[in-house]
């Protein structure tokens, strides 16, 4: 390792001997226990949080106790009632909801693999993903059942089954998530050993350079992302309240809102879909402190600042995080002028990097215009984007 460090360019962080860029960030502490799944890792972290998730539309709340009871019950049902085992793939087709993280955490706790898909995908695109990933069970909402009409998968409905749910092609609806949650966890269930290097997720990239491709992430990758998320938002001492505006089926939404943030005791307010007024009302109603968003939303906040500040109380908001595209100098300075009490930071990530690949974590870094920040720290064996145990710098140009 000393030889590698000696070959690293102190300005760029590039190592000629292995063609790798190294991070300048503080190393991410990772657990030494190899037999550890990400769900157990998250649930074992101590914090003072009380409310984990809030449905912005209905006001329904889940405490952390509610979440972990539900995860235990769903994992028991998956194992005992449906024979789900380590390595099995489970499909999740759903917009954002309070059920989304419960399904993900329950599946991964068994060593099974979660594969998510965009609800806006066509039936043909979903069928292609099913053929490629080979799931043995699917979770979806009643409104999206027609998109699974050509599959032969057993289906769990997210939400209560009223008995009047349209069932195209007589799909195999086997139960509802609420029925699974009401199930008493089995005391005799023997969990298979899950190792950090086992596959946790199989998410599909956007396909902007061709057909959509499946990307494997391990439990170790997700554990590293939990540590990065908690450290980035300085949440070690206690969580905040986040508005979930990004889709959880995407790697960003999954690592932040379905895994990372609940490890800190943060409260997550879930929007099933984005609408500007609903987002602003949620900030006011739930006294949100953090707002992850994409540049078009940020520009909208700037252009309509006077109207927004007259209509909504955003005094609780402390920070916004923008991702998806770099922000120009004009946008950054314009936001700082309109919202002087709200800090702004940026991030850049990939499905292939299990989320955050680079970020700006201070105002000084944000003013390095045209970049998305420094290379994020990560677990040491994750490749070029995860060489996080060495203090060197790389700025991402987007």
Q: What pairs with residue 269 in β-bridges?
A: 54, 243
Task: Output DSSP code: residue 273.
Answer: S
Identify the CATH number of the domain defined by range 21-397.
Answer: 3.40.50.12780
Nearest to 354 by CA among 379, 373, 372: 379
What local confidence, expressed as pLDDT, does residue 398 receive?
A: 34
Q: Which residues of the chain have pLDDT under 50?
A: 1-2, 379-398
Tokens of 73: 């019950």
State how beta strands 267-270 and 241-244 pair.
parallel
What local confidence, expressed as pLDDT, does residue 11 receive?
A: 72
Residue-wise pLDDT for 314-343, tens only, equals 999 999 988 877 788 899 899 999 999 998
Q: How far, in Å, CA of 185 to CA of 322, rounded?
A: 40
CA-angle at 329, arms to 325 and 331, nearest 5°: 70
Task: Output DSSP code: residue 374.
Answer: E
What local confidence, expressed as pLDDT, does residue 321 receive?
A: 87
Q: Tell me the H-state helices in the chain.
A: 2-6, 38-43, 64-82, 99-109, 123-133, 177-182, 219-232, 251-253, 276-286, 295-303, 305-311, 329-338, 363-366
Q: How far, in Å, CA of 154 to CA of 160, rounded?
A: 16
What local confidence, expressed as pLDDT, does residue 237 receive?
A: 57
Q: What pairs with residue 343 in β-bridges?
A: 319
Output the pTM of the full model: 0.87
């Amino acid at each position: 390792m000393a030889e590698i460090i000696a070959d690293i360019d102190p300005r760029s962080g590039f190592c000629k001997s292995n063609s790798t860029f190294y991070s300048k960030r503080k190393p991410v502490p990772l657990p030494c226990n190899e037999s550890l799944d990400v769900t157990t890792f998250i649930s074992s972290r101590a914090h003072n949080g009380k409310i984990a998730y809030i449905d912005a539309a209905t006001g329904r709340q889940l405490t952390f106790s509610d979440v972990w009871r539900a995860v235990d019950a769903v994992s028991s049902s998956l194992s005992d009632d449906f024979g789900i085992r380590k390595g099995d793939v489970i499909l999740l087709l759903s917009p954002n909801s309070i059920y989304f993280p419960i399904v993900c955490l329950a599946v991964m706790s068994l060593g099974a693999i979660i594969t998510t898909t965009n609800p806006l995908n066509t039936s043909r695109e979903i069928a292609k993903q099913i053929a490629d990933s080979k799931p043995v069970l699917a979770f979806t909402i009643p409104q999206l059942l027609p998109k699974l009409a050509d599959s032969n998968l057993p289906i769990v409905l997210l939400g209560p089954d009223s008995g009047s749910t349209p069932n195209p092609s007589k799909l195999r609806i086997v139960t509802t998530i609420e029925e699974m949650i009401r199930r008493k966890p089995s005391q005799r269930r023997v969990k298979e050993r899950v190792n950090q290097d086992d596959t946790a997720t199989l998410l599909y990239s956007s396909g902007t350079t061709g057909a959509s491709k499946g990307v494997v992430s391990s439990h170790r990758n997700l554990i590293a992302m939990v540590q990065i998320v908690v450290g980035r938002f300085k949440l070690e001492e206690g969580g905040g309240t986040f508005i979930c505006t990004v889709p959880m089926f995407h790697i960003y939404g999954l690592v932040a809102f379905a895994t990372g943030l609940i490890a800190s005791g943060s409260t997550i307010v879930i929007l099933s879909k984005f609408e500007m007024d609903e987002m602003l009302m949620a900030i006011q109603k739930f006294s949100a402190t953090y707002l992850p968003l994409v540049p078009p939303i940020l520009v909208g906040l700037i252009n309509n600042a006077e109207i927004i500040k007259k209509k909504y109380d955003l005094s609780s908001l402390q920070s916004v995080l923008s991702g998806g595209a770099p922000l120009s100098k004009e946008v950054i300075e314009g936001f700082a002028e309109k919202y002087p009490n709200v800090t702004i930071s940026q991030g850049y990530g990939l499905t292939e990097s299990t989320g955050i690949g680079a970020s700006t974590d201070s105002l000084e870094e944000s003013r390095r215009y045209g970049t998305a920040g420094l290379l994020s720290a990560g677990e040491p064996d994750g490749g070029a984007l995860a060489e996080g145990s060495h203090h060197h710098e790389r700025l991402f140009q987007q």
